[in-house]
């Protein structure tokens, strides 16, 4: 690895006498437009109350404003040392669900935004067809829906064909959730891009589990298993409220599990069984999800810190395992070669916070990352771009 010297004892960071470097970070789960909600009173004492305000933001975005918000947010990710993002994208169509002249217009603006700031992107084109078990899309959800899984698959295959061979773009597939894709259409989504990453929100909220059991007699993980969803290319996002059988299913499949601890805390989701999943054979990755916080060091530490709070025991996760989750495993889960994390290595500032530190993962923050030389904007420019984009969103809400 060019420019990197002796690994630290636990192996996640690299140090020289003058600087500390760290492999490029992988943000494996992002909803870029949620960034507009950061630091605002959104109301509601549960996930479902927060979702109402999030939907209000989704309702006012058009491709131009989505692009502006994405450029600013992806630039913030680059400033935080992130080299690749998995964008879980379901804002597909215009008001009332009418397709744009290019049905993949919003996906393309997100890819363009990532390229503008030098960020690799796995565009996880998300199938979203219903508002619950047996319910038709309602309100802003019309913008998310392609009507059925076959029409979604036709659109996403067109998008994927445009980016074959790109070294900075992967087009993957996603099932929004078992409540948003009917059971008889899950297999169509799972097989649409058979060599690409496949991601799915699963068991983030107890209500989702209860509704799934009532409607199908199965947990979400079990229902998805019947559709052939769980393979080594699949990522279960959140996986917070799992049975022992669910854990075994994900482990037996060698699936990835993407935890998003800052968002899971923000939305009062709960703490996922990260150690049980690891012991079963699942592989950990990390994401910023709602982008309330964009700091993969904080996400990595939170996995261990939340485990300590739940169990009263320290040391379930060491820095090497968390560093792997935040870097190489994340790249792989998004369809990129894990070695690219080393190629995308970032330099950490010689800060007071890092003074005397042996293992940077335990103390570094996004603010400690030296700005990438290839980023075409200064940090002050990014802040101004973000202010303009977020203000434009709220002027419309």
The catalytic residues are: 238, 289
The length of the chain, given as a count of residues: 397
Compute and round to an integer the Cα radius of gyration of the chain: 20
Q: Is 356 left (phi over 0), alpha (psi -120 to 50) or beta?
A: left
Residue among 339, 329, 382 at smallest CA distance from 118? 382
Residue 314's contacts (CB-CB under 8 Å, 6 or more residues apart) are 308
Contact 250, 203 (CB under 8 A): no
318-330 in b/e form (b: 16+ CB < 10 A) is ebbbbbbbbbbbb
* DSSP H or E stretch at residue 133: none
Q: Is 333 left (phi over 0), alpha (psi -120 to 50) or beta?
A: alpha
């Amino acid at each position: 690895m060019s420019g990197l010297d002796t690994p630290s004892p636990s192996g996640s960071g690299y140090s020289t006498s003058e600087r500390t470097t760290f492999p490029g970070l992988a943000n494996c789960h992002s909803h870029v437009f949620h960034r507009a909600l950061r630091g605002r009173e959104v109301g509601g004492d549960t996930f479902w109350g927060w979702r109402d305000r999030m939907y209000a933001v989704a309702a006012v975005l058009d491709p131009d404003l989505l692009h502006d918000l994405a450029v600013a947010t992806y630039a913030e990710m680059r400033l935080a040392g992130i080299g690749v993002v998995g964008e879980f994208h379901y804002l597909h169509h215009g008001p009332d669900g009418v397709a744009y002249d290019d049905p993949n217009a919003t996906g393309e603006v997100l890819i363009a935004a990532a390229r503008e700031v030098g960020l690799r992107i796995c565009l996880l084109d998300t199938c979203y067809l219903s508002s619950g078990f047996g319910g038709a899309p309602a309100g802003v959800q019309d913008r998310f829906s392609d009507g059925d899984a076959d029409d979604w698959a036709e659109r996403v295959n067109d998008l994927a064909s445009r980016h074959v061979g790109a070294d900075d773009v992967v087009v993957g597939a996603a099932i929004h959730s078992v409540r948003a894709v009917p059971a008889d259409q899950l297999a169509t989504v799972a097989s649409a891009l058979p060599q690409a990453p496949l991601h799915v929100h699963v068991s983030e909220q107890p209500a989702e589990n209860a509704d799934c059991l009532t409607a199908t007699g199965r947990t979400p993980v079990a229902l998805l298993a019947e559709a052939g969803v769980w393979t080594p290319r699949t990522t279960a996002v959140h996986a917070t409220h799992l049975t022992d059988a669910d854990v075994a299913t994900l482990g037996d499949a060698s699936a990835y599990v993407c935890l998003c601890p800052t968002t899971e805390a923000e939305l009062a989701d709960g703490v996922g069984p990260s150690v049980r999943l690891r012991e079963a054979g699942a592989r950990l990755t990390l994401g910023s999800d709602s982008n309330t916080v964009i700091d993969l060091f904080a996400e990595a530490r939170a996995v261990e810190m939340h485990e300590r709070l739940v169990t009263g025991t320290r040391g379930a996760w060491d820095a090497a395992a968390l560093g792997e989750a935040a870097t190489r495993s994340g790249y792989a889960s998004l369809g990129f070669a894990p070695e690219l994390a080393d190629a995308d290595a970032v330099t950490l500032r010689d800060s007071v916070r890092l003074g005397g530190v042996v293992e940077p993962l335990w103390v570094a923050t996004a603010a400690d990352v030296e700005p990438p030389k290839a980023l075409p904007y200064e940090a002050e420019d990014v802040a101004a771009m973000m202010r303009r984009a977020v203000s434009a969103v709220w002027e419309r809400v």
